[in-house]
Structure 1
Amino acid sequence: MSYITILYSILAVIGTLVLGLIIGTLLPGIERKYIQARIQQRIGPPVTSPGIMAPIKFFFKENIAPNSPVPGLYKSLPIICFIVVLLILLVLTPQMYFLGGLASVIAIIGFLKVEEVAYVLMGSLSKSVMSLGLPFPDIVRGAIHPDSERSHIEDLSSSRAFRLIAFGSFPIYLAIFIPVAITGSIFLGDIVAYQQLHGPFILTLAGAIGAIVFFVGYMILLNEYPFAIMKTKADVIEGPYMEYASKYRSFVYLTRGFLIFTLGALFSVLFIGIPPSIFSLGILVNIAVALIFLVLMGILSAFSPVFTYKQFYPVVISVSLLGVLAIVVGLLL
């Protein structure tokens, strides 16, 4: 491989990551101003407010010492989540397909699982001031005496995050395996090459069903209404994010927008066969998919209440069965 090719690949990867981060900072603002605000018939914040100005503002705020048994690990989790999303987008770029197993759907699922487990750890390692034990018997909370075991808001959100891992993650993982069923390969390079030769999977029956399943899993992974059980404002407020301040909360904001773009790019790779690369016009397709998913998510979440468990489980089971059906159809193609 010549130096020119190596330099081209390095610039393509770095440029794609930077562009993805820039687009990711704008997506939350687009959702807030042009979707949610329009539905609610208000002006809404500037586009740069949620994804750019908010992280900058929090980055320069004074930090707080979290009430956590392992404060170092607790504070590092938002940074770990950001790195995980960065790695997912990294292996989606065509220049990284030579990595073999790391550029496969198995690696993608592994990275996404780290993201999910981080939410459980955030809730488990935080005991915020809003749920601290008082120096006198807390009659309002139902405690009999000061030494009684008490639950914290973050514990509840951690339990819900675990439910999302145990049940809610099925749709997106089943959707990710649909292209594997069609191509017979777990490698992203093979999945892209197959679609460039035979056409996008989304134009097939299995791919069309898979797109629906993927979108539901996409909303669950982003903890959006009606699947926002982990950070429902009515009872757990911010959930696992309760004690994050300063630069750590900045990473929370940055990661969400970055994840929205990255999941759109993942869909483009798996169901359209167009990987993200700044030196290719296909990057416009990746951006378009991210915007389409964002619009659909914003509309659906605006008109949906938070699901209770009685509503959450049937929806997840039904969508998961659709995913299984799509895999079976894909195997028969």
Structure 2
Amino acid sequence: MNEQTKSYIFVTGSAGFIGFHLARRLLEEGYHVLGLDNINDYYDPTLKWDRLKILKAYKNFTFIKGSLENLELLESLFEQYNLPIVVHLAAQAGVRYSLKNPHQYIQSNLVGFMNILECCKDKKVEHLLYASSSSVYGNNKKIPFSIHDEVNEPISVYAATKRANELLAFTYSHLYKLPTTGLRFFTVYGPWGRPDMALFSFTKAILNDQPIEIYNYGHMKRDFTYIDDIIEPIMRLVKKGPPTDKTPPYKIYNLGHNKPVLLSDFIKTLEKKLGKQAHKIYLPLQPGDVTETYADINELIQDLSYQPQVSIEEGIENFVTWYKSYYKS
């Protein structure tokens, strides 16, 4: 069977946190996966290579190192491989980093996304699923955040690029009938997570007797969502197929836990699981940060019959167990 007759699911950002977990689940269920990642140094690439090491142990995994901005490379992959389903998770992540390096976000999140859309359009891809973010809601005063809310006031460059992705996806769904599904992720955490995220950086600091910086004096609320509660609905969407009942074939889902946690309570739970107190430095709200995220997941329940399963206590415990094992601490 050559690469053109064999069907692959194309997972961009396959060495990233969510991409790795999704690729592994797909591989375990027997799908052929083509992974793409540029292994940039936004955080320690060793973690990315270690994730890839696990994926490369599967015979049905193929990995390509490269960037979304390289249109020629993307076109060659869509030409060489049969890619009916694309799960586009690659992006320059991070709200605060976007204040310092805005150009990086424009290249990766806008130019890169446009390249993906063009390839999907040209090859008449059956379903494009792509990562968006809860940050598109900005300082939305209506709680919980609904996919029906207006989201036209992003307060960071990162959030603006994610909202732009949703608008571009709608345009391609409208013009070319390209079926697209946007996934607004709400503060994803768990084993193999990103070092720039609070749980990872707090755990590292507490274990090393270093202080942790707590913004907005600990009064922020986040709808922390365990990685398994992100992967399961994506898998259901892959199996369910595109939103063909809609014109244009365009859909957005909130992927959140639907139970916001106060940052100060989150830290208390972490201290309990680590058996160690944190040295805390309280600071004001940072530019670009929102005070609360809270996902309305009615569509998720209605369309996919799925509700998040993993509590914050269980999720943090799983992460701490992984962290201590991985870093031998």
- TM-score normalised by L of structure 2: 0.31
Name which structure has the greater RCO, CA cutoff 8 Å, separation 6+. 1
- TM-score normalised by L of structure 1: 0.31
* Structure with greater strand percent: 2
Kindly name which structure, 1 or 2, has the bigger radius of gyration based on alpha carbons. 1
* Structure with greater helix percent: 1
